[in-house]
Amino acid sequence: MKTWLITGCSSGFGQRLALAAAQRGDRVIATARNVKMIEEMAEPFGGRMITLPLDVTDAAAAKAAVAKAVETFGGFDVLVNNAGYALFGAIEEGTPEEYRPMFEVNVFGLIETTRAALPVLRRSGGTIVNMSSGAGIEGRGGGGYYHAAKFAVEGISEALAGELKPFGIRVLIVEPGPFRTDFLGRSITMAANEMPEYAASSRRHYRETNNGNQAGDPDKAIAVILQAVDA
């Protein structure tokens, strides 16, 4: 039986992974910025799943979540950095008020949560799962800010893999393509400064026409993640 600490459990892969882990008998610390959105999720599992508030950009909150996990379950052996969202729009369209918060969540939030968790994981070993994206492999027009954030996740993950190997900690990078989650709905912000000059590379039409119609089955992705963690 594994114990999971998962960020960003209010929707998408985070929610599905938390449920799948609990359903197979594992213990889960499910977190979300708005904990009220996930409280009911834990009810069917009794004490095997707890829900905690966690804004990953708040280092103190990350440390508090880790401390509560240790208090409740004695620790954890899987950390899943899933919290994140996308900003779509051309580089010229974006503003600091839009792209800086996205980097705070997707990159610096991942760092803060990982740093808070490492004292626990170094004692016991375990696995860190960093949710990247196909966007972390290749950059394309209309998504430059999101691509940059996910490229950063890739680099951080590869560095961590080398640093943590002596402690028996694995670092897995998950790079999903298009899956039928609500990512194109609630997890995307469009740059407000829409410029007609960039209409050809805009992701707006893609978002409107593909939300819910993506080819990927999210349940199959979750099964693969579980297998990778168990390997």
Where exactly are the structural domains of the chain? 3-230
> Amino acid identity, residue 85?
Y
Catalytic residue among 10, 133, 145, 150: 150
Percentage of the chain exceeding pLDDT 90: 76
Catalytic residue among 132, 133, 157, 202: 132
Q: What is the CATH number of domain 3-230?
A: 3.40.50.720
pLDDT single digits (tens) 39-82: 999 999 989 999 999 999 999 999 999 999 999 999 999 999 99
- CB of 154 closer than 8 Å to CB of 193: no
- CB of 162 closer than 8 Å to CB of 179: no
206 is a catalytic site residue: no
pLDDT reported for residue 179: 56
187 is a catalytic site residue: no
Residue 172's DSSP bridge partners are: 129
Percentage of the chain exceeding pLDDT 70: 89
132 is a catalytic site residue: yes
pLDDT reported for residue 205: 59
pLDDT reported for residue 133: 86
pLDDT of 212 strictly over 70? no
Task: Spell out the residues 6+ positions from residue 164 whose beta carbon is closer than 8 angstroms to its own.
Answer: 118, 121, 122, 128, 170, 171
The two three-digit tokens of residue 184, written as one number: 């194109």
The rounded mean pLDDT for the chain is 91
- CB of 90 closer than 8 Å to CB of 191: yes
> Regarding predicted confidence, which is higher, 188 or 35?
35
- CB of 191 closer than 8 Å to CB of 88: yes
> Regarding predicted confidence, which is higher, 39 or 206?
39
Element (H, E) at 160: helix 144-164
Catalytic residue among 133, 145, 146, 157: 146
How many Å apart are CA 5 and CA 85, to the nearest integer? 19
pLDDT single digits (tens) 80-129: 999 999 999 999 999 999 999 999 999 999 999 999 999 999 999 999 99
